[in-house]
């Protein structure tokens, strides 16, 4: 947990703002063929203004010019199938209004109808200007903004934006503050890669000065007059943006805690921030940013703070109904909450919507997003039908990423239905010649990584197998070998796929592509040893370290040699301790030791408790279990190839059973499968109800020996323990095989 806890959402938004460089989309390449363009439209006069219809390939738009408060008022409305244009990203897209007197010199007024962008002092990202001339490409303007803009982004598939432009401030050829021009040329465009449109057609998107004759014209003095606003629109919008900016700065301060803050302080800051966000939402009910952050923070706080993540997601969707990613989160959350009928109904709604029809890339994306959710809901047959509906789409032949998504999902559906032949055929993608480049493979690897990072590990393992073991990348040489290494690292982090990770490290080494790359080659050998540690095989791990020292010593630095020797020492010492442990296990076989059975959401785990080595700790565990204390509690901490931890009634690591225990550190050491007690201070009499299970024989596990109380070991269900993650629950915990005595622990009061 970072100690400066500005929300990750704020960090992402801030990064987006810093990197934001508004620009004009490139025009389509000239194929050398004459293009017959439609006449430049003159617009239709109505009481609202001079109105133009803007054609979109997948929708339509309108542009209306009028006068208000002495300014040029520009109302734009865009109706698209999804997301205002950039359907592969989060929210909104840019619109730009081009204004010029002579056509060869002018201004481009950029606006982001996007309530998720964070305003910045003095120059909010809602307003941005560029100048253009016939001689040079558009450049950022140092002039103070001469316009203001506001938007309604409550519905991202149909949004409006309004400009108020002070024409006197647009200093360009033929227009001055003292003698403002009356006749103007103009152009408009909105959207980006997914729904880009310049209006009128034929205006050069890179530099309008190249095609001045294609701009439409209007006379400011004859535009219909709107009723003036009581407050100057430019001043009103500037005041609102300044207010939002100040509130956001205050909000960020709420999330700031000292460098040495405790977990409780961190949690308190999040709770206060959540309350501040709700207050801000009342002040700006149309600000999507607030709904976005409430949703993100609600996921962080969870039900423990009385947060309803489903309700927050529903609010967000009502504000932004075309956000496909939010729909996916909403359905996924419903499934996890055991609200399957609602989830299936929502999936049907999306598959029948306009997003799932018409525009082929969008149709494919909707199907690829919905089908995995059906599998999660144990509706594999329905998922297979969804995949079959797009199996012949040309998108899957041209878009490598969507092909990989289809392969991973469709093969997973086949596996769920027990159709191993179909599963194997789907995953065995044919080799491509010529092979893939690094640039082509990167989005595929990023997708596989994201599956692991987001917790969809089974899908991640499947994606890794497609990339590494099908013929698909076999013609790609070093690219394929690097992918093997990248995927091996993530396979290893799952705990349960260490054998698959080992195979990828081994294949990368055997390829010979890293013969001259010492760093990568050494890393592969270390990876092989870590895989063996994750499998509990200390002897094999030690042998890899030993062989690495023998065969590569001449190429290793002194620091590398020291590090490998330390890793070897852990495994060597661990083997010695395991020999002792085997003797203790033989003794345990002759005893009547209690057994805990943890029925979890991933399966059952049976733990043998070491009553003679930690009698008071075992008495506490038995007593709490008999009271039903552990039933329904979650596992709150997961560290790859280290531990899975649970037993906190608060669900965040801060709770206990209401008391402390004396530390009973004994002869028992730590290994994969060890069941031990968590504490805030080793040997400090701070054990309570929380426990952890070790999931590897790595140095981080072996290093715990002698400092923490070992209460037992897993004797059944270690495969289940490896698959447990933070958020999984103990449905029910029972105890059996008790001795004929009262299990009443001696306790110490909790520290305040």
Condensed to tens digits (0 to 9), the pLDDT of residues 649-673 reads: 998 898 999 999 999 999 999 999 9
Q: Distance between CA atoms of 316 and 308, rounded to whole angstroms?
A: 13
Domain of residue 614, residue span? 595-736
Q: Distance between CA atoms of 301 and 483, rounded to whole angstroms?
A: 36
Q: Residue ranges of the alpha helices (H) in 359-497?
A: 360-376, 380-388, 395-398, 400-416, 420-427, 438-453, 457-469, 478-493
Q: What is the largest CA-CA distance in the chain?
A: 103
Nearest to 417 by CA among 390, 385, 456, 389: 385
Strand pairing report for 730-736 and 71-80: unpaired
Query: Which of 181, 214, 237 is a domain's end point?
Result: 237
Q: What does the pLDDT read at residue 62?
A: 92
Place of tokens 């082929």: 360
Helix axes 420-427, 457-469, angle to 10 degrees: 60
188 in a domain, yes or no? yes
Q: Residue ranges of the alpha helices (H) in 667-716?
A: 699-702
Positions in the chain whose pLDDT score sits under 50: 1-31, 83-92, 123, 192-195
529 in a domain, yes or no? no
374 in a domain, yes or no? no
Question: Please, how many CA atoms are within 13 Å of residue 466, restricted to the half-sphere of its CB?
Answer: 30
The count of other CB atoms within 10 Å of the CB of residue 2 is: 9
Q: What does the pLDDT read at residue 89?
A: 41
Strand partners, 75: 64, 162
- What the block records as the tokens of 58 is 């997948």
Enumerate long-range contacts of 429-432, CB under 8 Å, 24 or more apart: 429/403, 429/466, 429/470, 429/471, 429/472, 430/471, 430/472, 431/471, 431/472, 431/473, 431/474, 431/475, 432/472, 432/475
- What the block records as the tokens of 176 is 């001055």
Q: Could you tell me the CATH number of the domain that includes residue 628?
A: 2.40.100.10
Nearest to 500 by CA among 455, 534, 545, 523: 534
653 in a domain, yes or no? yes
- The DSSP secondary structure of 688-740, one letter per residue, reads -S-EEEE---SHHHHTTTTTS-EEEEEEE-HHHHHH--BTBBEEEEEEES--S
626 in a domain, yes or no? yes
Q: What does the pLDDT read at residue 193?
A: 42
Strand partners, 735: 596
Q: Could you tell me the CATH number of the domain that includes residue 225?
A: 2.60.40
CA–CA distances in Å: residue 455 to residues 114, 448, 666: 29, 11, 36
pTM higher than the cut 0.85: no
Query: Tell me, what DSSP letter sits at residue 432?
Result: -
Q: Distance between CA atoms of 703 and 676, rounded to whole angstroms?
A: 13
Contact present, 184 and 220 (Cβ < 8 Å)? yes
630 in a domain, yes or no? yes
115 in a domain, yes or no? yes
Helix/strand/coil for 114 = coil
Nearest to 200 by CA among 212, 210, 184: 212
Condensed to tens digits (0 to 9), the pLDDT of residues 548-594 reads: 999 998 999 999 999 999 999 999 999 999 999 999 999 999 999 99
- What the block records as the tokens of 399 is 């878009």
Q: Distance between CA atoms of 328 and 347, rounded to whole angstroms?
A: 9
Q: What angle do CA 303, 309, 311 make, to 5 degrees?
A: 120
140 in a domain, yes or no? yes
Q: How many domains does the chain have?
A: 2
242 Cβ contact partners less than 8 Å away, ≥ 6 residues apart: 119, 121
- What the block records as the tokens of 216 is 């439409």
């Amino acid at each position: 947990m970072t100690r400066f806890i500005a929300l990750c959402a704020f960090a992402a938004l801030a990064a987006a703002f810093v990197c934001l460089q508004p620009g004009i989309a490139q025009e389509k390449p000239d194929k050398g063929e004459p293009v017959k363009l439609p006449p430049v439209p003159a617009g239709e006069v109505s009481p609202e203004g001079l109105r133009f219809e803007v054609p979109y390939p997948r929708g339509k738009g309108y542009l209306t010019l009028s006068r208000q408060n002495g300014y040029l008022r520009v109302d734009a409305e865009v109706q698209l199938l999804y997301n205002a244009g950039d359907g592969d990203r989060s929210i909104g897209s840019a619109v730009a209004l081009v204004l010029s007197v002579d056509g060869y010199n002018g201004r481009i007024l950029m606006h982001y109808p996007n309530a998720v962008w964070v305003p910045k002092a003095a120059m909010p990202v809602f307003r941005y200007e560029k100048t253009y001339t016939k001689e040079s490409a558009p450049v950022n303007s140092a002039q103070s903004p001469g316009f203001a803009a506001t938007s309604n982004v409550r519905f991202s598939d149909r949004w409006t934006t309004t400009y108020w432009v002070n024409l006197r401030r647009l200093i360009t050829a033929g227009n001055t503050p003292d003698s403002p021009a009356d006749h103007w040329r103009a152009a408009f465009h909105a959207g980006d890669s997914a729904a880009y449109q310049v209006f009128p057609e034929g205006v050069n998107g890179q530099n309008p000065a190249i095609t001045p004759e294609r701009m439409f014209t209007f006379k400011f003095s004859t535009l219909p007059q709107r009723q003036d606003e009581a407050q100057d629109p430019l001043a009103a919008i500037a005041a609102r943006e300044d207010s939002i900016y100040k509130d956001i700065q205050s909000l960020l301060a709420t999330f700031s805690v000292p460098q040495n803050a405790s977990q409780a302080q961190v949690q308190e800051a999040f709770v206060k921030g959540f309350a501040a966000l709700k207050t801000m939402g009342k002040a700006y009910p149309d600000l999507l940013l607030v709904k976005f952050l409430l949703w993100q923070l609600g996921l962080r706080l969870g039900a423990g703070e009385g947060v309803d993540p489903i309700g927050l997601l529903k609010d967000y969707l009502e504000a932004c109904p075309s956000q496909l990613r939010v729909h996916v989160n909403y359905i996924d959350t419903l499934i996890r909450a055991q609200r399957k009928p609602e989830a299936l109904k929502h999936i049907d709604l999306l598959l029948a919507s306009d997003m799932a029809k018409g525009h082929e890339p969008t149709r494919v994306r909707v199907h690829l997003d919905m089908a995995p959710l059906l599998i999660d809901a144990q509706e594999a047959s329905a998922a297979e039908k969804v995949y079959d509906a797009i199996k012949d789409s040309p998108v899957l032949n041209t878009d490598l990423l969507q092909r990989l998504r289809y392969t991973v999902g469709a093969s997973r559906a086949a596996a769920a239905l027990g159709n191993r032949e179909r599963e194997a055929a789907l995953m065995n993608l044919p080799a491509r010649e010529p092979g893939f480049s690094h640039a082509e493979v990167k989005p595929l690897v990023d997708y596989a990584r994201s599956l692991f990072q987001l917790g969809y590990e089974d899908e991640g393992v499947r994606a890794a197998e497609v990339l590494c073991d099908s013929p698909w990348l076999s013609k790609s040489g070093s690219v394929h070998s690097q992918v093997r290494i990248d995927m091996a690292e993530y396979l290893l982090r799952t705990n349960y796929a260490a054998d698959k990770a080992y195979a990828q490290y081994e294949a990368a080494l055997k390829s010979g592509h890293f013969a001259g790359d010492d760093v990568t080659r050494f890393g592969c050998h270390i990876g092989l040893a870590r895989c063996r540690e994750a499998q509990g095989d200390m002897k094999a791990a030690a042998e890899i370290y030993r062989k690495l020292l023998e065969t590569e010593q001449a190429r290793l630095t002194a620091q590398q040699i020291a590090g490998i020797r330390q890793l070897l020492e852990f495994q060597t010492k661990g083997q010695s301790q395991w020999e002792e442990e085997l003797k203790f296990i033989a003794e345990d076989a002759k005893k009547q030791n209690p057994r805990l059975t943890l029925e979890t959401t991933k399966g059952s785990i049976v733990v043998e408790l070491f009553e003679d080595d930690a009698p008071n700790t075992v008495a506490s565990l038995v007593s709490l279990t008999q009271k039903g204390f552990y039933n329904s509690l979650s596992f709150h901490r997961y560290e790859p190839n280290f531990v899975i931890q649970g037993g906190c009634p608060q669900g965040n690591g801060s709770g206990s059973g209401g008391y402390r225990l004396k530390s009973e550190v004994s002869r028992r050491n730590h290994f994969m499968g060890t069941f031990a007690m968590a504490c805030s201070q080793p040997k400090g009499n701070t054990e309570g109800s929380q426990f952890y299970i070790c999931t590897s024989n790595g140095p981080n596990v072996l290093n715990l020996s002698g400092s923490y109380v070992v209460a037992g070991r897993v004797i059944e269900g270690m495969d289940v323990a490896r698959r447990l993650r933070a958020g999984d629950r103990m449905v029910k915990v029972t105890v059996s095989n008790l001795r004929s005595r009262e299990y009443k622990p001696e306790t110490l009061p909790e520290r305040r």
